[in-house]
Amino acid sequence: MKDKVVLFKKIPNQQQQLLSEYFNLVYFDKIDSSNMDAFIHEIKDADGLIGAGVKLTPAILDNALQLKVISTISVGFDHFDLDYLNKRNIALTNTPDVLTNTTADTIFTLIMCAARRTTELNNMVTAGQWTNNLKDQYFGVDVHGKTLGILGMGRIGYAVAKRAHHGFDMKINYYNRSVNKQAEQDLNAQKLELDELLATSDFVCSILPANEQTDLLIGQRELDLMKPSAIFINGGRGNVVDEQALAMALKNRNIRAAGLDVYQVEPLPTSSLLMSLDNVTLFPHIGSATAETRLAMICSAIDSLKAACSGDLTQNCVNAENITQ
């Protein structure tokens, strides 16, 4: 008899059909207040869940009495209560590898856009305000040859550093819990304490995960340590940065510019001070948003779900060491 799996995200027909071949599949293209009761009813006897974009709280999962596996179609899993899942003996899988290069491309795009003021200048052109040669008040700054400070030297941090070092001859500093020997050997990267990295970097790029140690790690004190000419980039998690403090630093020109793909509240509220600033580039959380990568993430999540349901927790299971079989 097939395991019952509830899919809670719209995915391509081919991949949905693949799930149907392996599982007794129940499908929701999205979950909101209008169908939450129906979702809770279906998960009561579900063996597995797969999807993204829904915070599955303990209160919701208490209804899933037979649940063995959750496969999230994302690399981040901070929206799950791992302690709860461990107590329930529920395996959680994610998709860490397939989005590394795409997300690194996005982050480096933010670096380039913020440095060369592309959003501001694009708006100038489309508004019909480009009427003569560009004056020096609109000049950007070079990226090549500068110092890049990376907060979080994991897979994505290394991929960004590789682009910076080999493509733009940038000096790489990084802040991380542990030494990244590969980055130091391959890219001549140097591990620094946070304050020194902030004070010496021309670009500061956060790719940190969300946890108790990183929550609001970058606030007014940290921003004040940065050079007035520095540019701040956040491609990791929104809660790492005090958004109000960042907005004030940008408004007062305490730092030169910023480029953001993640926010404390998403979508970014229209009331945010960031919306009114001309020295910040704002992306709508597009880190892994290419057709190729999103499909690869779905396929990876399906493979991990199939493996975990059959008892194999070696494929991207984030809490495998806490699951008894």
In the residue annotation, 266 being an active-site residue is answered as yes
∠ CA 136-138-142, rounded to 5°: 85
In the residue annotation, 285 being an active-site residue is answered as yes
CA distance 95 to 146: 32
Q: What is the DSSP string of 90-133?
A: -EEE---STTHHHHHHHHHHHHHHHHHTHHHHHHHHHTT---SS
| 41, 166, 266, 292: the active-site residue | 266
- Of 267, 275, 270, the C-alpha closest to 247 is 275
CA distance 95 to 11: 15
Sign (positive/negative) of CA torsion 56, 58, 59, 65? positive
| 117, 165, 237, 256: the active-site residue | 237
CA distance 254 to 269: 23
Place of tokens 């959380």: 285
- Of 277, 288, 247, 282, the C-alpha closest to 262 is 282
* Partners of residue 50 on adjacent β-strands: 7, 71
**Which residues are identified as catalytic?**
237, 266, 285
